[in-house]
Amino acid sequence: MSDRIISRREALTVALAAVGTLVRPARAAEILFGARQAGAGAGVGGSRLVIQNARPLDAEAPIEALRTFETNNDLFFVRSHLPLPEIATPWTLTIDGEVARPITLPLDEIRRMRAEHRSVTIECAGNGRSRFELPATSGVQWQFGAVSTATWTGVPLATLLERAGVQTSALHFWMEGADRAPMAATPRFIRSLPRETALGEAFVAYEMNGQPLPLLHGGPLRLIVPRWYGMASTKWLTHVHAHATESDNHFMVRGYRYADGSPVDLMRVKSLITAPREGERVAGRTIRVTGVAWTGTGTVAHVEISSDGGRTWQPTRFTTDPRPGAWRLWEADLAIGSTGEQRVRVRAGDSAGHIQPERTPPNPGGYGNNSIQEVRFSAS
Amino acid sequence: MQAETRRFLVAGAIASALLAAALLTGCRTASTRASAAPDAALKTFLSTAEAAEISALPDGPGKTLVSTRCLLCHGAALITQQRKDAAAWGRTVTQMRTWGTPIQDDDQAVLVAYLTEHFGPDARR
């Protein structure tokens, strides 16, 4: 890198310090809202995204925004590895590599194909990382809110791959988005999907809860991979490269790996209490406990709560149906024995037989923390 | 055109001009969304977020390096929320150099010492 460039970038930093605080977030807000959602961002009860990093933007949903099946677009968590890309017009998706006919499809053409609507819960693989006790943590220190659900509109990736004449030699599909790091030497964010997933549940989405896909959420076009942690659902999707081998990108080989080297892929079964909130004061002899539960293996089969530190558990009732890849809402009435400090825990299990552990074994990357959650509140 | 819409367009134009002046890469206005209606409250919230991150950086010999090197690519919170020992910070800084951040050998020692002092395993959250 030449001195001239360094000096220009340094000047840029000074400029950022001076006006960046006015400019960059304003743009983020502008993109977040969209003209079609005037007044959005105020969200549920005036709540707002909880910002973990301002640049690139990493922000979690406020817990009260997760009390509905679909999360408001403005309160859906945001994870960005790299700065927001410039949006090309027209937006195109290119499919090449181990295919008979490489194709480049304009977004308009994808929009004219038969659309499907799918409700999918996305959880960041690092959600709950801050709850791990790690000697040297790394990554965004998420609490509980890097999870949200939307109904996405798009077309199956398989439909597009078949149009390109995907060959039997194509075993891994490398997903490339338009986002780039400021430094050319920084790795791109490339993830690859195995053939069975790419030709199975994966689809490309251009609408989110009936709105054009917002830029912060990967618009105008992103991948959605149901049941997988969010890193698989590539935002700002521009290319799908069909390969014989898995991607050797940093975020495949070094990032998103558990302690034993196995890849982070399907979401672990997990539940979250959305009411009462931590520290809330409630009145009455019986209180309503509500929450959500999700899994990447099968569907959520049972959710229980405990008010005695996990010695005894009581069942909850579901208020939504089981759907693979989407969370279920649940509720329960909890009897309050005495006033003062209360604790309630939640534990979910799925149809594949997985159940949340008391404490998920930590891993250096801080991934997949599905430890049982406990909320402390007080009753009067 | 309604007055309200016009106001937002003017605000968008001003923001775009500032953006063009300040940010040469990585953060450009989507002109197709220039008519977006920013929510004043969230706009303020977001605008203070990065300023708060930067002001959270403690004084010390490495602060200028953080500001002029690390913040080229990301905000300060990505640093201040971490708790790592000297070896881990050393690995991070080495990786960032590999990824294109202009840091000299002498500067790395200063930077790692600063990061470890303020964002080490025992530092308060």
All structural domains of chain A: 1-33 (no CATH), 92-253 (3.90.420.10), 270-379 (2.60.40.650)
Which residue of chain A is at minimal alpha-carbon distance from B36?
A35
pLDDT tier at B38, thresholds 50, 70, 90: very low
User: Any chain B CB within 8 A of the CB of A115?
Assistant: no
Flag the least confident range among A99-103, A122-126, A272-276, B24-28. Answer: B24-28
How many A/B residue pairs have CB atoms within 8 Å?
A: 177
**pLDDT of A34 strictly over 50:** no
Q: Does A13 touch chain B (CB under 8 A)?
A: yes
pLDDT at position A49? 87
Out of A32-46, A243-257, A268-282, B74-88, least confident range: A32-46
**Domain range summary for chain B, segments of one domain joined by +:** 1-38, 46-125
The amino acid sitting at A17 is: A
Both tokens of residue A327? 């969370």
User: Model-level pTM?
Assistant: 0.84
- What are A298-338's pLDDT values in tens digits? 999 999 999 999 999 999 999 999 999 999 999 999 999 99
Q: What's the mean pLDDT in B98-109?
A: 95
In this model, does residue A5 exceed pLDDT 80?
A: no
Round to whole Å and give the CA distance between A190 and A175. Answer: 6
List the single range of A122-136, A288-302, A332-346 with lowest mean pLDDT: A122-136
Confidence (pLDDT) at A154: 98
Residue A39 — φ and ψ, nearest 5°?
Answer: 85, -5
Is A7 in CB contact (< 8 Å) with chain B? no
Q: ipTM of the predicted structure? A: 0.78
Residue A96 near residue A242, CB atoms below 8 Å: yes
Tell me the residue type at A44. V
Which range is most confident: A7-16, A298-307, A361-370, B72-81? A298-307
Tens of pLDDT, residue by residue over A69-128, are 999 999 999 999 998 898 899 999 999 999 999 999 999 999 999 999 999 999 999 999
* Contact check, Cβ <8 Å, B33/A35: yes
pLDDT of residue A46: 57
User: Structure tokens of A375?
Assistant: 């909320």
- Region A245-262: what's the mean pLDDT? 96
Taking an 8 Å cut-off on Cβ atoms, the answer to whether B83 and A137 are in contact is yes
Contacts of A180 in chain B (CB under 8 A): 26
Tokens 């229980």 found at: A304
What does the pLDDT read at residue A23? 32
Strands (E) located in A195-244: 203-208, 211-212, 222-224, 237-243
The nearest CA of chain A is from the CA of B105 a distance in Å of: 16
| Residues across chain A | 380
CA nearest neighbour of B68 among B78, B56, B58, B76: B76
Q: Does residue A25 have a pLDDT over 70?
A: no
- How many CB atoms within 10 Å of residue A364? 16
A 157-186: CB under 8 A from B: 180-186
Categorize the per-residue pLDDT at A272 as very low, low, confident or very high, splitting at 50, 70 and 90.
very high
Please report residues of B whose CB lies closer than 8 A to that of A55. 50, 74-75
Q: What is the DSSP string of A109-137?
A: HHHHSPPEEEEEEEE-TTTTGGGS--TT-
Q: Which CATH number is B46-125 given?
A: 1.10.760
Query: At A135, is the pLDDT very low, low, confident or very high (cuts 50, 70, 90)?
Result: low
How far B29 CA sits from the closest chain A CA (Å)? Answer: 7
Question: In a mutagenesis test of the B interface, which of A3, A13, A14, A24 is the best target, namely the one with the most B β-carbons within 10 Å?
Answer: A24
Q: Which of these, A10, A23, A24, lies nearest to B64 by C-alpha position? A: A10
Average pLDDT over residues A264-283: 97
A141 touches chain B (CB under 8 A): yes
Residue of A40 and A103 predicted with greater confidence: A103
Q: Considering only the beta carbons, identify the residue of A18, A34, A54 that sits closest to B36.
A: A34
